[in-house]
């Protein structure tokens, strides 16, 4: 992470109270990947960088509905510290998270940033006075968001900026080519390095690739929502990292609970002695070698459970069984 020379004002953890979860984490990672986690072993390219395949999505470190400060700021700080301790070097954030709250928390806790840390941000959306999600895709809005990210992260250059389409619903008021033109100008000015896309179609990605290299695509995708398989296939063809959001389905529509109740997921989880959510994340890692996960949480215990997925190896029979998982769609915002 390229950081400014401002002085660092950086300043454990919440533990699970349920004994069965604690007992799981006491077992070895290879025999039971819910056991104590070590450094993440799996890596993949992200543009011209290499990151560990399980990162951290920081959205949940803001307040309810991703608006305002966290209910427990010290718990949020503990999650960030523990994530970096365990080798996370890919963190996803956005100016709209708070707004500014999550970026400022990252700067407070993690500066001076580790040299290998990639912080990905997003542009294309904003929050209204009530916390609603609205479009912000005009050139001056994109530029303001990038510059605000630089200020709040206290960085000299952003590692990766994802252009998010479809915020707030309805058609985009600015053509994709014009939006990407603004980002390439900002890159030429030295304000960002890599460019990615979020919530895009195959047509959007093909248009973008004719304009500039694309480092990653973030779309809703998971074992129970494979609507964007064609987008993933196009990423495969071009060697582009794919970062699924809602990997367990949307929590707002009961996605994780539906996964836990799915007989195929439950069966594989029981056989490996892991949780259904861990199976769903492990399936993603097995599905594409440049799949990068950014599961989010406000709990250290849950963070460790997510990172333990690095030690799960699904077999061919597991993957065949998981093809039976019921597919459901996941909403965006």
Query: Hey, which bits of 286-330 come out as E strands?
Result: none
| Residue 292, C-beta contacts closer than 8 angstroms, at least 6 positions apart | 44, 46, 51, 53, 54, 55, 90, 216, 241, 242, 243
3-state secondary structure of 88: coil
Nearest of 314, 219, 330 to residue 265 by alpha carbon: 314
- In which residue are the tokens 């709250």 written? 101
Distance separating alpha carbons of residues 124 and 31, to the nearest angstrom: 44
Instruction: Please tell me which residue in 97, 113, 221, 245 is annotated as part of the active site.
Output: 97
3-state secondary structure of 307: helix
Distance separating alpha carbons of residues 305 and 307, to the nearest angstrom: 6
Query: Hey, which bits of 150-300 come out as E strands?
Result: 155-164, 192-198, 216-220, 241-245
Helix axes 73-85, 101-110, angle to 10 degrees: 50
Dig out the tokens for 306 from the structure. 């997510």
Distances (CA, A) of 40 to 51, 84, 98, 262: 10, 11, 29, 28
Note if 97 is an active site residue.
yes
Catalytic residues: 97
């Amino acid at each position: 992470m390229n950081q400014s020379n401002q002085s660092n004002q950086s300043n454990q953890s919440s533990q699970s109270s349920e004994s069965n979860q604690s007992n799981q984490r006491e077992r070895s990672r290879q025999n039971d990947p819910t056991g104590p986690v070590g450094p993440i072993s799996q890596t993949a390219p992200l543009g011209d960088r290499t990151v560990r395949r399980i990162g951290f999505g920081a959205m949940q470190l803001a307040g309810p509905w991703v608006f305002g400060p966290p209910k427990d700021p010290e718990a949020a700080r503990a999650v960030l510290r523990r994530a970096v301790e365990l080798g996370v070097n890919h963190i996803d954030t956005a100016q709209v998270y708070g707004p500014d709250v999550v970026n400022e928390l990252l700067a407070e806790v993690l500066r001076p940033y580790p040299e290998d840390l990639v912080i990905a941000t997003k542009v294309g959306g904003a929050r209204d006075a009530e916390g609603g999600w609205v479009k912000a895709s005009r050139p001056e809005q994109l530029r303001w968001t990038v510059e605000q990210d630089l200020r709040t992260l206290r960085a000299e250059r952003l590692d990766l900026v994802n252009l998010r389409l479809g915020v707030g619903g309805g058609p985009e008021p600015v053509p994709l080519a014009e939006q990407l033109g603004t980002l390439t100008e900002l890159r030429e000015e030295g304000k960002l390095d890599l460019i990615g896309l979020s919530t895009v179609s195959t047509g959007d990605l093909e248009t973008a690739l004719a304009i500039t290299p694309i480092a990653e695509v973030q779309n809703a995708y998971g074992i129970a929502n494979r609507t964007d398989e064609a987008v993933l296939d196009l990423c495969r063809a071009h060697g582009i990292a794919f970062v699924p959001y809602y990997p367990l389905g949307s929590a707002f529509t009961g996605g994780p609970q539906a996964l836990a109740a799915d007989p195929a997921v439950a069966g594989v989880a029981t056989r490996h002695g892991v949780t259904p959510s861990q199976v769903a994340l492990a399936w993603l890692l097995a599905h594409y070698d440049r799949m990068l996960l950014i599961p989010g949480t406000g709990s250290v215990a849950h963070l460790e459970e997510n990172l333990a997925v690095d030690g799960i190896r699904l077999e061919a029979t597991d993957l065949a069984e998981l093809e039976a998982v019921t597919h459901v769609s996941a909403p965006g915002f």
